[in-house]
Amino acid sequence: MTAPLLTINDMSIIFTSPDEPDIEAVRQVDLTLTPGKTLALVGESGCGKSVTARAVLRLLDRNADIRTGEILFEGEGGKVDIARLKPDSDAMRAIRGAQVSMIFQEPMSSLSPVHTIGDQIDEIIILHERLTPRQARERTIALLDQVGVPGARERANAYPFELSGGLRQRAMIAMALACTPKLLIADEPTTALDVTTQAQILDLLRQLQDDYGMAMLFITHDLGVVAEIADEIAVMYLGDVVEQGDVFDVFRAPRHPYTQALMNSVPRLQRKAERERLSPIKGNVPSPKDRPQGCAFTSRCPFAFEPCADTRPARTSLPGDHVARCHLLTRTRAEAMA
């Protein structure tokens, strides 16, 4: 097994506000990213996926605080704990864009409306590789060409509003890959696109990953997209990573009740006679301030029993690289031992 590129251990992120109680948006995140592999981070809206991703680049707002845990990154200059770096420090900025880069959800609002896309891509190349503007532009054109922007030389002089959503997202990807990063974080890059464009962008990302050998952290709430692109999957619920493992293992045999419920809520294409009703997950996601002390899923879990509400389940290793946090797993094991 290759050495991990990025390891997040027991990270919690707390948002403070002067007139409200603190909110623990991320309570317990453990993630491991391997070079050349894609990890899909899955969960409902507001479960802390994006916050986790932004924490890796230290792009969180000033009122967010990484209270505990570490983000260990195997960078060019050796291992660094990103959680300990200052957000605007030279060390952090040397990582951003050069070693870890990010693609955002909304390609329109994530590109500056008043600068050409060429200008916005040149900038990152000039910043990290110290090329002349002319050399940078040549590289930009090559990149745009590589991500499948037709007429790259002319399109480099276009403004974002002159391009379609798919082309904008391609430009965004070209920008993220400009300095050949080791890790690409994609925060719902296909959510704002229509389905055919979505498939093209996923193909492109997979192909680029083969070319560059980078690790990818792919955030989505769409299990179809996960099946399409991911090697590994991590499932988040209300600030906790509840299960992580190989995508086939997890899809075939989800071990955490939340993951199981999530799989059951996906519609399958079946003949009319065989169709079943979807089984949605009971109840609603509680707000982080009503979160149970123990497992966050307790309030909606059909199997909840007495330790769930108060004791946080431990990380249980399962066959393969599969881990989950659920009391059921330790109980069955304890019963088997008895």
Partner 1 sequence: MLRFITTRLVAMVLTLWAVSFVAFAIIQLPPGDYLTTYMATLASNGDRVDPAQIDALRRQYGFGEPYIVQYWKWITGILTRGDFGQSFEWKAPVTTLIWGRLGNSILVEGLAVIVMWTIALPIGIYVAVKKYSLGDYLATIGGFIGLAIPNFLLALLLMYLSFVWFGTTIGGLFSPAYENAHWSIPRLMDFLSRAWAPVLVLATAGTAELIRILRANLLDELKKPYVTTARAKGLPEWKVILKYPVRVALNPLVSTIGWLLPALVSSSVIVSVVLNLPTAGPLLLRSLTSQDMYLAGAIIMLLGVLTVIGTLISDLLLAWIDPRIRYGSK
Closest to partner 1 by CB, 71 vs 262, is 71
Q: Which is nearer to partner 1, 98 or 223 (CB)?
A: 98
Residues near partner 1 (CB under 8 A) are 54, 57, 59, 88, 93-98, 101-102, 104-106, 109-116, 123-124, 127-128, 159, 161-162, 172, 175
Q: Which CB sits closer to partner 1, 74 or 122? A: 122
In the complex, what is the shortest distance from the CB of residue 205 to partner 1, in angstroms, rounded to a whole number? 17
Nearest distance from residue 295's CB to partner 1, in Å?
A: 32
- CA dist., res. 293 & res. 308, Å (int): 9
Q: Which CB atom, from 184 or from 281, has the smaller least distance to partner 1?
A: 184
Of 160 and 313, the one with the shorter C-beta distance to partner 1 is 160
Residue 259, phi then psi, degrees to nearest 5: -60, -40
Identify the CA nearest to 249 among candidates 321, 326, 317: 321
Percent helix, strand, coil in the chain (nearest 5)?
35, 25, 40
CB of 219 vs partner 1, minimal distance in Å: 14
Q: How far is the CB of 8 from partner 1 (least distance, A)?
A: 18
Is beta strand 78-81 parallel, antiparallel or unpaired with respect to 315-318? Answer: unpaired
Kindly state the greatest CA–CA separation across the chain.
72
> Which string of DSSP letters, residue by residue, matches 295-334?
-TTGGG-TT--TTTTTSPPPEEEETTTEEEE-HHHHHHHH
Shortest Å, Cβ 186 to partner 1: 12
Q: How far is the CB of 124 from partner 1 (least distance, A)?
A: 4
Q: Which two tokens stand for residue 67?
A: 């209270």
The CA-atom distances, in angstroms, between 300 and each of 41, 231, 238, 280, 328 are: 21, 28, 12, 11, 15
As a whole number of angstroms, the distance between CA 217 and CA 210 comes to: 15
Min dist. Cβ of residue 101 to partner 1 (A): 7
Q: 113 vs 280, which CB is nearer to partner 1?
A: 113
| Element at 284 (helix H, strand E) | none
Three-point CA angle 328, 235, 264, nearest 5°:
75
State the nearest-atom distance from the C-beta of 18 to partner 1, in Å: 9
Is the distance from CB of 220 to CB of 226 less than 8 angstroms? yes
Q: Is 232:246 a contact under the CB 8 Å cutoff?
A: yes
CA distance 244 to 241: 7
Q: Which is nearer to partner 1, 91 or 142 (CB)?
A: 91
96 versus 255: smaller Cβ distance to partner 1: 96
